[in-house]
Structure 1
Amino acid sequence: MEKLENLILAAAGIYKQPELVDEIITLQEELNQQIDKQINQQKGLACQKGCSYCCYGWNVQMTIPEMLMVIRDLNSFSPEKRIKIADRIYEFSNLNDYDGVACPLLENSLCLVYKSRPFICRTYSSYDVSLCENRKEFVFPPFVEKIIKDIVLPFEENIEEPFRTLFETKVPISNIKFDYHRGLFYLNLANTIKIIPTPEKTEISPLEFAKKYLQT
């Protein structure tokens, strides 16, 4: 219940100050840069462009800021491509079993939002591609745990509530919504506000809980 209350409070703050969305995305970008710096220092990783074994079989979880980044990038595509992606996400969201199913944002073995990919995708690494190819379990490289301890957790602790909850709450990729009338992807934040981040601007409109928690 506390998490939901914090999400609603964060939504209220964003509704009153829409520029906070850009600040939240900027913070996530800075965090990603720190994470990438650590990953780029690692030697012997088998991961390379076009390797997409880890992009099958699961509904990727991401934080609210990560989802905002992903949605912003999706909204940069042409209207026609956005509809095709939206259809894939919709079909994906109706599945009960993801075994062998590709991520809806995977196209030609490449991630459509690679620069904005969430933490789990950013750090999912292997020293032996044969383990990935044969779908065998493997232990995450130890540097991933170090990144969480030395970078992610201290970063989150420096953000005050209720906005810290945005960085701690995980939501599945299937939660990305699409407005077919406007042809844009959006995020439903706690049924309080609708956030439509695009490369040009961010639009925010009230939802169900807005009448109770916000003065509109």
Structure 2
Amino acid sequence: MAQHSLIGYCLKAKTSSWTTILRCLDTEDILGKFWWATWKQVNLDEKNFILSHLLEKFKQYKHIKEKYGDEESDSGHEVFDYEVLLGILKERGNHVFHSNKTEFKWSIDDVEFSHSILLWHIATFLLFYNDHKKYSGGVLGPYCQISKLLSDYMMYLLLVRPLMLPKGIGEVRITDTREEVIRLLGKGKSLTNNDATSALLHINYELGFLSTHNKLVLRDGCKLALKLQGLVEELR
């Protein structure tokens, strides 16, 4: 499965001498996006997680079809209902949150698709490395790794294969967010993923005062990470 970490990409790009040279020749950084992409083997836990989600979606589709009645073609076969399927796909993960967790729905329902992918990707990165720093991998369990794998895959699609996703303004947001991350973390400094996580979680108070468009994604991603940390504490 293809992988791309936006913050990891920023950490490598800002300290690489090749980056400056490439950016002069490749203003859209197309080579850089491919250069920093990686691939990971998908294990059995991850395959089962994805398969169970697809089966749940199919079950949901069948339930809706049965509720409103199935149509049949002239040959007697069931007609595939694209409208029902599109409605299910447009949920974009908001079914995960119950009615008593409406404070998270803004991150899915109230923002454009590429914005939602970016801010959840940032939040996932921050929580992944922050939790691994505090706890052992055995305590966290496999879902922590699965969420990071899927998050980095979505980031890869947004960066390298945007035509596979709904049309949006992802390129503009990615470029602006990348430049903001590099600015906040300091150009030329060599930092680890843990260093970047600590810096961004602690610098969030500053991001709260930023209102320009190119800083909204990073601010929202940090804010979401802190809210999710609060949810973990609430649910023990």
Q: Is the TM value for this pair above 0.5?
A: no
**Higher fraction of strand:** 1
TM-score (norm 2): 0.25
Higher helix share: 2
Scaled by the length of structure 1, the TM-score of the pair is: 0.26
